[in-house]
Amino acid sequence: MTEFLIQYIELAARHAHIWGFVMIFVLMAIESSVFPLPSEVVMIPAGFLAYRNGLTFGDPLIDCSIAVICGALGSLAGAYFNYFMALWLGRPFLYKFGRYFFLPPKNLERCEQVFREYGEVTTFVCRLIPAIRHLISLPAGLSRMSHFRFSFFTVLGAGIWCAILLAIGYYLGSLSADMTYRDLVHRGIRILHENYIWLFLGIAIIIGTYAMIHHMVMKSSRNRNMPEQA
């Protein structure tokens, strides 16, 4: 799929100064749904173009900021597509017919298992894990997760992921101005894979901090609700 899409990146880049942010939103929405469109093909070139003043405003800082926002909001839109699809169609339908739209039963079962084991925070954590990031919205929909919490965790995780990919593209833009888009994407993916250990370390720190704060808040809430002894 990545190789198939790369051939269209150069064509899209020619119109990035006008339609760049719209394309980022739409493509990240597609990527965040059940369709297999890799986000690396979208956000790494966006960072590259931002460095080269190839996006709408011609200012790297402004263009990078808006690109991350558009990517995160696009991911949220795609995530809500999955959320409501799961909510409306239900578990039996997804397990029976999901294979016909890129959703094998084993993948859905794995997502549900992760969601049950680790809870709602997985809608944030899995946004940083390519193999499962676009499917974690399905068990969230099946469990009728709060819209506020779902939106918050999804935007937070998607925003961080978009920023990481954008930073890789920006860095590669600083190295060479004549790099082909095929080399750009493949080199960016290689950099990402080589530094996954730091990404997972960051995820572990975030989860640990969240768990500690959540435990403290819940403990404080229980103490306030306990009746005072005479």
Q: Can you give the pLDDT at residue 49?
A: 92
pLDDT in tens, 2-26: 666 777 777 788 888 888 999 999 9
Whether 87 shows a pLDDT value over 50: the answer reads yes
DSSP string, 10-53: HHHHTTHHHHHHHHHHHHHHHHHTTS---THHHHHHHHHHHHTT
Q: Can you give the pLDDT at residue 214?
A: 64
Q: Can you give the pLDDT at residue 154?
A: 95
Q: Can you give the pLDDT at residue 77?
A: 97
Whether 125 shows a pLDDT value over 90: the answer reads no
* DSSP character at residue 228: P
- pTM of the prediction? 0.85
- By residue count, the chain amounts to 230
**Residue 170 near residue 60 (C-beta atoms within 8 A):** yes
Among 5-14, 42-51, 88-97, name the one with the lowest average pLDDT: 5-14
**Per-residue confidence at 230, pLDDT binned at 50, 70, 90?**
very low
Residue 142 and residue 149: Cα distance in Å, rounded? 15
Q: Can you give the pLDDT at residue 2?
A: 65
**Percentage of residues of the chain with pLDDT beyond 90:** 45
pLDDT in tens, 141-173: 999 999 999 999 999 999 999 999 999 999 999
Q: State the average pLDDT over residues 192-209.
A: 79
Q: Can you give the pLDDT at residue 63?
A: 96
Residue 151 and residue 122: Cα distance in Å, rounded? 13
Q: What average pLDDT does the structure give for the chain?
A: 86
Whether 101 shows a pLDDT value over 50: the answer reads yes
Q: Can you give the pLDDT at residue 132?
A: 82
Q: Can you give the pLDDT at residue 1?
A: 60
Whether 83 shows a pLDDT value over 90: the answer reads yes
Whether 129 shows a pLDDT value over 60: the answer reads yes
**What does each C-alpha distance from 8 to 28, 50, 177 come to in angstroms?**
15, 18, 19
Whether 229 shows a pLDDT value over 60: the answer reads no
Residue 125 and residue 225: Cα distance in Å, rounded? 31
